[in-house]
């Protein structure tokens, strides 16, 4: 395999090793799979979404046991600030998926939120997948 490529276990193929892709693959492996104990087959990367006439791609979607979307993860390059614009992007995707959890990360920082009524509240720690169910 070329050094400018990364293996994406969710898409089951090699993908170009961009800074954002490196963050995505780190999050899939280290945070979701190892840390939060999400089974690999309960995640999708670059998941296509449609809102009206607009097509989007969610970086990572975590699913529950019935394959319903549970969490959206928005990944950015390490030099991108995790600001309101990034949160708004994840919330737009949530308008399609209606998840309980949202995460945003640039590899250096990660913020997680859980649904609370009509909005989302910051979480101090990442929940285990079993706790999210």
Residues of the chain with pLDDT > 70, as a percent, come to 98
Q: Domain 5-132 maps to which CATH number in 3.40.50.1980, 3.20.20.70, 3.90.1570.30, 3.60.15.10?
A: 3.90.1570.30
pLDDT for res 59? 96
34-52 pLDDT, tens digit each: 999 999 999 999 999 988 8
6-23 pLDDT, tens digit each: 999 999 999 999 999 999
How far from chain centre, in Å, is Cα 23? 10
d(CA 93, CA 73): 10
- Mean pLDDT in residue range 104-121: 95
pLDDT for res 92? 87
Distant-in-sequence, close-in-space partners of 126: CB < 8 Å, separation ≥ 6:
31, 35, 36, 103, 110, 112
Contact at 8 Å (CB) between 77 and 67? no
Distant-in-sequence, close-in-space partners of 56: CB < 8 Å, separation ≥ 6:
48, 49, 50, 92, 93, 96
Question: Over the chain, what is the mean pLDDT?
Answer: 94
- Mean pLDDT in residue range 18-33: 97
pLDDT for res 1? 44
pLDDT exceeds 60 at position 55: yes
- Mean pLDDT in residue range 93-114: 95
């Amino acid at each position: 395999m070329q050094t400018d490529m990364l293996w994406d276990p969710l898409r089951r193929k090699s993908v170009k090793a961009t800074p954002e892709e490196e963050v995505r693959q780190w999050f899939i492996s280290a945070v979701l799979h190892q840390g939060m104990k999400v089974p690999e087959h309960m995640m999708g990367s670059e998941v296509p979404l449609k809102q009206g006439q607009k097509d989007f791609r969610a970086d990572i979607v975590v699913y529950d046991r019935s394959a319903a979307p549970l969490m959206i993860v928005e990944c950015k390059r390490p030099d991108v600030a995790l600001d309101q614009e990034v949160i708004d992007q994840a919330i737009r995707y949530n308008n399609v998926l209606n998840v309980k959890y949202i995460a945003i990360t640039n590899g250096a920082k990660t913020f997680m939120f859980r649904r609370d009524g009509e909005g989302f509240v910051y979480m101090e720690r990442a929940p285990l997948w079993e706790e999210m169910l």
